[in-house]
Amino acid sequence: MTQVRNNWQITEIEDLFNLPFNDLIFESHSIHRKYFNPNEVQVSTLLSIKTGACPEDCAYCSQSSRNDTGLERERLLPIDEVVEAALEAKSNGATRFCMGAAWRNPTDKSLSHVIDMVSAVKDLGMETCVTLGMLEKDQAKKLKGAGLDYYNHNLDTSPEFYGEVISTRTYDDRLKTLEHVRDAGINVCSGGILGMGETRHDRARLLQELANLPKHPESVPINDLVQIKGTPLDGIDKLDSFEFIRTIAVSRILMPKSYVRLSAGRTEMNDEMQSLCFFAGANSMFYGDRLLTTDNPDENHDQALFSRLGIQYEKKKVSAPIGI
């Protein structure tokens, strides 16, 4: 078995990026086969439970109050609408239901409403994931008590490039939230966004930060920037598709037991590119025609692609909810 490491040097990671494409993909696919069924993909559905008016200044985000994107602010969704959406996701093959709120950090009152949502979705027999911004230690413990399976909090990019994208929270703030989540016993979902003007070195540094955490994130979402009118990153040069696939492959090599997820940006990927991503080691994706505020391929298209590739949805047993 490939050794699981948390001490990757940046030169080692850059050497992987610099391999001939066929050699890199062969290596990543070989590792993928050792830990996963290469013909199964875990499927999640993402729902925005509170949209818009976020005080952060993330240069890529339509929900930032500082970006003039025309997005209207919405209140926290009622629990019955969340349950209805989760039931539909489950009927379409999703095993995990992810809920996202545009907050810098949740208040304790807001968190109590989210905890009710987590419990309700768990009762449907689905895995649960939330992304709510920064968390305090006691808040992470409360979410664990509700039975939360995953918490998403992306590092976004390298520590060195981070200040070019966000100024309202620090890289250390993000690492601290991941620490609270990990210490609470919740699975960590953390990845980044490619195509924001970063260099290959930045992409290597992002993966180094993730792979050298005390424990590899159980889920690693890799996003291809969706350019949104009214955000500072609209109009930036798009990332080469082979560079994106290389990043998927290196992620798989560095974090062999993690689920590597194709996240935002799939609408602009053709079927051939997505197929190469799955071959390179991606084995998770978001399913459904919406990701928070951006488009996603519809279910029929994904089903047709999976049929052509002989890929099946991964089936998972979900643990029973735990009382607070």
Cα distances (angstroms) measured from residue 183 to each of 138, 211, 214, 226: 11, 17, 11, 32
Looking up tokens 């009214």, which residue turns up? 230
Block residue for tokens 């159980």:
218
**98 assigned to active site:** yes
Within 10 angstroms of residue 131's Cβ, the number of other Cβ atoms is 21
Which residue, among 64, 46, 56, has the nearest Cα to 284 in the 3D structure?
46
- Which is the catalytic residue, given 96, 98, 182, 277? 98
List 54, 174, 252, 277, catalytic entry? 54
- For residues 124 and 120, what is the distance between their CA atoms, to the nearest angstrom? 7
User: Measuring CA to CA, how many Å separate 98 from each of 90, 142, 150?
Assistant: 12, 17, 9
Quick check: 165 and 58 in contact, CB under 8 A?
A: yes
Burial of 300 (0-12, 13-18, 19+ CB in 10 A): exposed
Question: Could you give the 3-state DSSP secondary structure of residue 228?
Answer: coil
Catalytic residue, from 58, 203, 205, 266: name it.
Answer: 58
Spell out the alpha helix ranges (H) of 159-199. Answer: 171-183
Task: Mark whether 58 is an active-site residue.
Answer: yes
Q: Is 277 a catalytic residue?
A: no
Exposed/middle/buried for residue 91 (C-beta within 10 Å: 0-12, 13-18, 19+): exposed
Decide if 129 is catalytic.
Answer: yes
Work out the burial of residue 93: count CB atoms within 10 Å of its CB; fewer than 13 is exposed, 13-18 middle, 19 or more buried.
Answer: middle
- Catalytic-labelled residue, pool 61, 169, 203, 252: 61
Catalytic, out of 96, 174, 261, 266: 261
Among 189, 203, 266, 277, the active-site one is 189
Residue 276 has which token pair? 């190469």
Looking at 129, 169, 266, 277, which residue is catalytic? 129
- Please say whether the beta carbons of 112 and 319 come within 8 A: no
How many Cβ atoms are within 10 Å of 22's Cβ, its own excluded? Answer: 8
Element (H, E) at 194: strand 192-194
61 is catalytic: yes
Catalytic residue ranges: 54, 58, 61, 98, 129, 189, 261
